[in-house]
Structure 1
Amino acid sequence: MTSPTTIYTNATVFTGEAAIAPRESFAVRDDRVLASGDLAAVRLAAQAGGAPVTEVDLGGAVVTPGIIEGHSHMLMLGESLSKVQLRDAASIEVVQERLAAARAAAPDAPLLLGTSWLFDIFPEGERPTAAVIDAVVPDVPVILDANDLHSVWVNTKALEAMGITRDTPDPVGGEIVRDAQGDATGFLLETAAMQHAWGYLDSVRSEADEDRYLAAAFDAYLETGVTGATEMSFGEADLAAYRRILDRDGRLPFPVNAHWLLTATGDTATDVAQIERIVRERDAVAAQYGDAWLRITGVKFILDGVIDACTATMREPYANGALPGAIWEREFALPMAVAADAAGLQLALHAIGDEASTIALDMVQECIRVNGPRANRRARVEHLESVADDTIARMAALGVTASMQPVHCDPAVLDNWQAVLGDERARTGFPWHKFRAAGVPLALGTDAPTAPHVAPDNLFIALTAESALDRSREAYQPERVFTPSQALEALTLGAAYATRREDELGRISAGYRANVAVWAANPLAGAPAELLGTGAALTLVDGQVAHRREA
């Protein structure tokens, strides 16, 4: 007998493509969309075969394919939800107050973690120091992630716990900031933050902690209408945590595409050996679990740092004269990219500065030269905050996806970003409109937890160029904004295309997996500000209710 069917009626159904007018209903049978269209046609499709049919009235809500988070760090997001939140801390004193309060509230905790402090709180020319934290929490390690997750501020106890001394060398692509005497000051940049701070946290957290963090991230995303994610810092700990869920449940709460984070070692043979390991893990996961839920699809290169810390790789110097090189120099980046590409691994290339995105496209072009054209290569460049027009034209010619995050240009977090650039580049960042005009494929995400993970707030910024954090701020270059249908396509079908899953995800269309978000506010026709602070009224994953918002 044919399986029962549910028809969802009285809705505005955005199917995933901006060029297609919304439908009024859709039907789900088992884990798939059976049909979408006008109600009479959907009822005919549902009644074929004599299956029992249930109708659900959605009260006029807007329905879209579930959001596919274009760039995320799931374990970090789940962990960050329990950290001391510092994104809205407007001064060093506020940071100190929050740390002192958190320590008083948990006096037996073995360490204290915080997240999302902004460079703006430091007077010009000053940088974070351990002494500032020691003044309020001197007795346990304190580790505070910057808002961009590319640097870490720690206290003296944390430096001791991480084993950092005068003799500890800077890793390739990173810096342990030191004073005139050579002692670490408590500020770790780029790969120094990843290897020392993140490595230390990996060593002290338990499997139970990791499972709790991952569950919290899935729940947080489902509440905001997200039904898929693109992991961008995947590694050993992440894989073990995902395996535990798959072994227990046989599935994940929603599909995840993972990019394994590569480490620049400065030695080509050592670099390339990483690819061999990733391929073994990719093939083992596919053989054991299939790829419906977890797919190790590619590798992540962090080519440069971030503009706020003046570590992003630019063509011209920053206002302070700095002109840092890339974390992955071409000498090592090109052969590594070719090896990954030859193994069928998708390239995800973190490039925030305009010179870094030039290197990224050189890598893609070298892959094409050595390995030949391939229709599903789907190379992608992440962030593209300051990018030259010639790079955008090259991306269009090479078919490279622009993976961008509207929440990264919330005007409330741009003061320092603009100040350190100090020239015309401060006014021409995040050029969404130029990518659209050039025909570059776009995928939108949040890069959580470097920014809030909430999809409606991310969409609000895409539609307005205004601030979701401080409504008094003026819009940043509002000529860049998306129309609602353009933004929704980039959040759904665009992100599915970028992950090579557009044949099963990103559309409300017959045969597609029934991953659906019913919005609590109207993203198509309502005032954009009405999106702020909302989530999903209903989230479906493979046709089953994964989240239902309480009235």
Structure 2
Amino acid sequence: MKKLQVISVISAITSLLIATPLMAQTTIIKNVNGYTLSGETLIKFSAISFTNDTINKTYQPGETIDIANDVVVIDGHGQTMLPGLIDAHGHVLGYGHSLLRVDLVNSASEADAVNRTIVYAKDNPSLSWVLGRGWNQVQWLNNSYPSAKSLDKAFPDKPVWLKRVDGHAGWANSKAMALAGITAASKAPAGGEIIRDEKGQPTGVFIDNAMELITASIAPPSRSEDKLALTKAMHSLASLGLTSVHDAGIDQNNINLYKELASENNMTIRINGMLYLPSENWQQQLAQGPFKTHDDMFIFNSVKIQADGALGSRGASLINDYSDHAGHKGLLLHDKETLQHYIDFAMNAGFQVNTHAIGDNANKLILDLYQQAIAKSNTKSLRHRIEHAQVLRLVDIPRFASLNVIASMQATHATSDKNMAVTRLGEQRILGAYAWRKLLDSNAVIAAGSDFPVESPNPFYGLHAAITRQDHNNSPQGGWYGEQKMTPVEALRSFTLDAAYAAHQEKLIGSLEAGKKADFILLSDDIFTMPASQIWQSQVLQTWVAGKKVFSLAEPSVAK
């Protein structure tokens, strides 16, 4: 009986310890060159205090800091501190899977490529296929295609598929060819070639359309591989200074993985997920309503719909013909009635609707459909969004503010597209394209992103493009349609407060103020005083999310 009583007491104490919140720990980072935003005003500060994940106070330069004995004090060594940057439009799983590839760019030889693959496979033992890209036999001394034999020695039982740098050839091992059913009798499809040895046996290299013979056998990523991809992606994004990302187009499986990662405390950065419509069981998922974790590391309160294609491929839906393709106006991916159904269903379920629209016809159509649906559902306060908002009729620009619709835009699209956009659109339509200044002057909110992995997720590339409208070679002089530039403060705001606002999180993150989460980054450079042409080269030294350091290039000094 006494033994049972002791066990009961121990059990009660254990339960009490589990239920008791962690002891509050206050940290002060002093001696920083800090910037944050209050409304549209840039505020400077020299120190920040936070307890656990919440900011207590920022200190003005010269202000006295009272430090209690139990406070951890970190010297910021004069580094620049900014609010954590937010990417309002990225694809986390796709980016993560791009990181789960062997990097063979500039490999010195076939043996070097094999060795890189071996090292990578040892670091990622759970992968069912070893995938990679970047080899180029022209750079090798023998100038010859590689063979399956060199891979077979290291990978007798695991399939390997490595794409050439240009994506027009692939290199497989024997296991991969066996899974694909490749034999000496296999024939290449039209537009493809199977490289063979002197005996007619496939060597392991497949050209162009013949690559499909292998890729058709590559199984979709497993759940564990998807989870690993998300984890790697979040770590990589944190190293670039991103503390939050709006994941633009996820499915129910992704939602469950994020919930699982959050329950394991493995969310490196905050994720705002948009459910892709249509995806499997999307109606049932929306019927459950919005969701967020208790620590706000994962939230799900929006959907993603795709109205048209891209400008470069002439898939963006235009009102009039493409200037370089008479008789072609692009295409809509859904008819008007289907788009209306998705929009109405999501708004009525209480979800923010975020629709991809690039061409002026797609943007006009979505604004029209939003106007009708917002009036019927009374959801103007949900701050619906248009993702990209790339080519707009000038008369449609004021509609964003009047409908409380956010323009979710990617500054690097302008600097990437500048060499073809005028050709596609002509001299008049281009005046409503990538029109950041016109939108801001009409009181629209712009939430900045990158659309990674289509573009680099590095937010400093986006800040640089927004401020200069130039590429990394400082071209063109004065910026491409330079009158549409953002100011440095506007650009920072688009990656912080306005991106947070676009996720209904402006009271939680986006600026460094008392009561908000301690999400911030430290840089060696000051983006407000350095030459604007160099902003894209800025290097993140530390990234903190919810008061925890999640990335560091060098450990800071700690003093009492």
- Which bin holds the TM-score, normalised by the shorter protein? 0.7 to 0.9
Deviation at 1:116, TM superposition (A): 9.7
Q: Give CA deviations for 1:404-439 in whole Å, capped at 9, x if unaligned.
A: 11111225x532344333443346521111111011
3-state SS of the aligned residue for 2:434? coil
Deviation at 1:237, TM superposition (A): 4.0
Match of 1:3 in 2: 24
Match of 1:394 in 2: 399
Aligned mate of 2:532, from 528, 542, 551: 528
Compared with structure 1, are the counterparts of its residues 59 and 250 closer, same or farther at alpha carbon in structure 2 (3 Å cutoff)? closer
Match of 1:175 in 2: none
Counterpart code for 2:287: V
Match of 2:267 in 1: 252
Compared with structure 1, are the counterparts of its residues 83 and 314 closer, same or farther at alpha carbon in structure 2 (3 Å cutoff)? farther
1:274 aligns with 2:279: no
Match of 1:241 in 2: 257
Compared with structure 1, are the counterparts of its residues 428 and 440 closer, same or farther at alpha carbon in structure 2 (3 Å cutoff)? closer
How far apart, in 2, do the equivalents of 1:404 and 1:87 lie?
31
Query: What is the percent sequence identity of the aligned residues?
Result: 22
Deviation at 1:30, TM superposition (A): 1.1
Say if 1:141 and 1:161, in contact at 8 Å, map to a contact too.
no
How far apart, in 2, do the equivalents of 1:330 and 1:41 lie?
59
Match of 1:454 in 2: 458
Q: Give CA deviations for 1:522-549 in whole Å, capped at 9, x if unaligned.
A: 2111112333333311111111111112
Root-mean-square deviation (CA, aligned residues, Å) is 3.6
Match of 1:19 in 2: 41
Compared with structure 1, are the counterparts of its residues 94 and 26 closer, same or farther at alpha carbon in structure 2 (3 Å cutoff)? same
1:506 aligns with 2:560: no
Q: Give CA deviations for 1:348-401 in whole Å, capped at 9, x if unaligned.
A: 1100111111122122212222112442x1101111221111221111101111
Compared with structure 1, are the counterparts of its residues 103 and 332 closer, same or farther at alpha carbon in structure 2 (3 Å cutoff)? farther
How far apart, in 1, do the equivalents of 2:520 and 2:52 lie?
14
3-state SS of the aligned residue for 1:43? coil
Say if 1:113 and 1:142, in contact at 8 Å, map to a contact too.
no
Match of 1:158 in 2: 212
Say if 2:407 and 2:444, in contact at 8 Å, map to a contact too.
yes
Match of 1:75 in 2: 93
Report the more deviating stretch, 60-69 or 506-515: 60-69
Say if 1:32 and 1:543, in contact at 8 Å, map to a contact too.
yes
3-state SS of the aligned residue for 2:398? helix
Match of 1:381 in 2: 386
How far apart, in 2, do the equivalents of 1:84 and 1:418 lie?
37
Counterpart code for 1:27: S
How far apart, in 2, do the equivalents of 1:425 and 1:156 lie?
41
Q: Which runs of 5+ in 2 are unaligned?
A: 1-21, 107-133, 169-188, 197-201, 556-560
Q: Which runs of 5+ in 1 are unaligned?
A: 119-129, 144-153, 163-199, 265-270
Compared with structure 1, are the counterparts of its residues 277 and 520 closer, same or farther at alpha carbon in structure 2 (3 Å cutoff)? same
Report the more deviating stretch, 313-322 or 207-216: 207-216
3-state SS of the aligned residue for 1:366? helix
3-state SS of the aligned residue for 2:305? strand
3-state SS of the aligned residue for 2:28? strand
Compared with structure 1, are the counterparts of its residues 358 and 406 closer, same or farther at alpha carbon in structure 2 (3 Å cutoff)? same
Q: Give CA deviations for 1:279-332 in whole Å, capped at 9, x if unaligned.
A: 33x56x65xx44612111111010000011111011111121211331122211
Say if 1:110 and 1:140, in contact at 8 Å, map to a contact too.
no
How far apart, in 2, do the equivalents of 1:160 and 1:12 lie?
54
How far apart, in 1, do the equivalents of 2:254 and 2:146 lie?
27
How far apart, in 2, do the equivalents of 1:52 and 1:116 lie?
57
Counterpart code for 2:400: M
How far apart, in 2, do the equivalents of 1:425 and 1:86 lie?
42
1:364 aligns with 2:367: no
Match of 2:18 in 1: none
1:53-202 to structure 2, matched below 5 A, reads: 53-83=71-101, 109-112=159-162, 134=193, 155-158=209-212, 162=216
Compared with structure 1, are the counterparts of its residues 228 and 106 closer, same or farther at alpha carbon in structure 2 (3 Å cutoff)? farther
Match of 1:127 in 2: none
Match of 1:43 in 2: 65
Counterpart code for 2:521: A
How far apart, in 2, do the equivalents of 1:516 and 1:332 lie?
41
Counterpart code for 2:407: A
Say if 1:307 and 1:352, in contact at 8 Å, map to a contact too.
yes
Compared with structure 1, are the counterparts of its residues 116 and 278 closer, same or farther at alpha carbon in structure 2 (3 Å cutoff)? farther
TM-score by length of 2: 0.75
How far apart, in 1, do the equivalents of 2:344 and 2:364 lie?
16
1:333 aligns with 2:349: no
How far apart, in 1, do the equivalents of 2:268 and 2:534 lie?
28
3-state SS of the aligned residue for 2:397? helix
Compared with structure 1, are the counterparts of its residues 495 and 205 closer, same or farther at alpha carbon in structure 2 (3 Å cutoff)? same
Match of 2:558 in 1: none
3-state SS of the aligned residue for 1:320? coil
3-state SS of the aligned residue for 2:37? coil
3-state SS of the aligned residue for 1:15? strand
Aligned mate of 1:483, from 483, 487, 495: 487
1:207 aligns with 2:223: yes
3-state SS of the aligned residue for 1:292? coil
Moved over 6 A (4+): 84-88, 93-105, 114-118, 130-133, 135-143
Say if 1:116 and 1:450, in contact at 8 Å, map to a contact too.
no
1:444 aligns with 2:466: no
Compared with structure 1, are the counterparts of its residues 94 and 139 closer, same or farther at alpha carbon in structure 2 (3 Å cutoff)? closer
How far apart, in 2, do the equivalents of 1:103 and 1:446 lie?
38
Compared with structure 1, are the counterparts of its residues 416 and 160 closer, same or farther at alpha carbon in structure 2 (3 Å cutoff)? farther
How far apart, in 2, do the equivalents of 1:415 and 1:85 lie?
29
How far apart, in 1, do the equivalents of 2:277 and 2:165 lie?
23
Say if 1:258 and 1:295, in contact at 8 Å, map to a contact too.
yes
Compared with structure 1, are the counterparts of its residues 514 and 392 closer, same or farther at alpha carbon in structure 2 (3 Å cutoff)? same
Match of 1:31 in 2: 53
Deviation at 1:212, TM superposition (A): 2.6
Q: Give CA deviations for 1:205-264 in whole Å, capped at 9, x if unaligned.
A: 2233223321221111111111011000201442343244234x2351121110011139
Compared with structure 1, are the counterparts of its residues 237 and 9 closer, same or farther at alpha carbon in structure 2 (3 Å cutoff)? same
Say if 1:235 and 1:261, in contact at 8 Å, map to a contact too.
yes
1:494 aligns with 2:515: no
How far apart, in 1, do the equivalents of 2:435 and 2:105 lie?
24
How far apart, in 2, do the equivalents of 1:389 and 1:75 lie?
35
How far apart, in 2, do the equivalents of 1:354 and 1:512 lie?
38
Match of 1:323 in 2: 329
TM-score by length of 1: 0.76
Match of 2:357 in 1: 351
Aligned length: 470
Match of 1:305 in 2: 309
1:420 aligns with 2:435: no
Say if 2:274 and 2:300, in contact at 8 Å, map to a contact too.
yes
3-state SS of the aligned residue for 1:216? helix
